[in-house]
Structure 1
């Protein structure tokens, strides 16, 4: 690690390299902005990054209007939230067919991940299917530019994205990569499983044993990393994910309680929420949460989400997302079993 420079010298160096104005000028990108200058100094002082080198990298990127539009919720929602519409995007024949091919190609790896982390293959395949359609759509945004845009030009979540930018620069350095070379989503998610930089540094694994973690090119690393992420967030082996339910009475208070399981199935039944399927022995005492799947013009679907359902929402904090993963996983498993029975 290079010797750290005093903060005053860093400021002087930045001042000599860059105009004082906080407004980006032609050809200088983010490196003109006071917040970015401070960030560069922090990265030098905390982690030994070279000031001049980091400044040149930030000079090569500039605020991305497309990223900032994508992250903002619409001022006036064009359409009501719809589970039916959301489901059609992810639980369809194209993703089921693609998932079967992916599962067949990586069956040994998926079984190894299940043995180590306790997460069934269909759940891992479904997450990768929902995230990038099995690696086909990993994002075309420069991650440095996307994260910088959100860290310094999107105040509502600036703290979060500034932390992810820090993690991204550390990740790139650890892997000997130029931050300018890495592409991802508009929110800075990277690779086949779309891990944020902090998640990659904390949960990703070298599952193919080639002495590096590569979530952009290694399906094996992606599979192991998704399984480990879920296991580290509390996945329970062989435990249920969700079951459909019927509701008698007004479920508003139970819905407002959120998606983290708190009441047992037995307690929920006393409040008018009854599973539509016969549960395994002992599952009536499992904690669950009431999940509502709302579609305009259609009856609301109700499900009981168990701890494993909640774990999926740690990947993406949306009940629609978790249910799409679960239902795609069920479709993948059922199709695979059907195909096996016809051989």
Structure 2
């Protein structure tokens, strides 16, 4: 399915777990632009509850939801280790795909999705919605305009919290299902935003471990030293062991100004004394409630994905670009 698209985008949503809620709210807001044809889950109880909350037609027939000729695109919201199987099936059925982060628990499988979408001429996007926050978009524009000057350093601090009960859920915090811990599941949003703002980073050194606060297979604390494209230093500290959880911060130090993103809020201090601020909701799911955030950024991301299909262009958060974030995470975990 190539070329421009007219009329509301017809989609199937696959997976109705925790991640589906902000998507459902966003899709309800976008009802004139995106039409949900199927919302698919194998859990009858979950499907009934989802239909009661949102009014979307629910089915247990995932294969039919993917292959339905009416469907233009498939939104994949299942656990990470199932993403590639579903996305590949959708792509081979001629559907565009929007995939909840990460692309897949396996880096080779993620690379396969990107290759298949490219070979078939279909659009593939990834749900890394922090790029669509107004403060992040303002910072992107400032960097592009040279308002910060040359970036001299970049530092990301993701001090989040997840109680042990979160990791006691079957499969959560395992390599087999999630592909990793704090980097792949929580900090990936902030890491992706950082990389999209400063460009490709190389890992100089990294340490990953599991603290005494959690019983889990994968890492809950990572410290990494990196280099920016111009050779300047960067750092990433990410954890889910910092109770009760704090908004993530990203500092960009430039020759003309220093910018700090605190979740969805931007503060800029210029060397000449001027100040600028973009005030927004700073909830980001940093604490024990992982879904404690608004669905505004999801709505903007889904709208962009629909526009990308209509206009026959790449979505702003493409699978090709998101793959570079996943490769950076793999490099940090490799040390």
Shorter-chain TM-score bucket reads under 0.3
Higher radius of gyration, 1 or 2: 1
Q: Per residue, is there more strand in 1 or in 2?
A: 2
Structure showing greater relative contact order (alpha-carbon pairs closer than 8 Å, 6 or more residues apart): 2
TM-score normalised by length of structure 2: 0.22
Q: Per residue, is there more helix in 1 or in 2?
A: 1
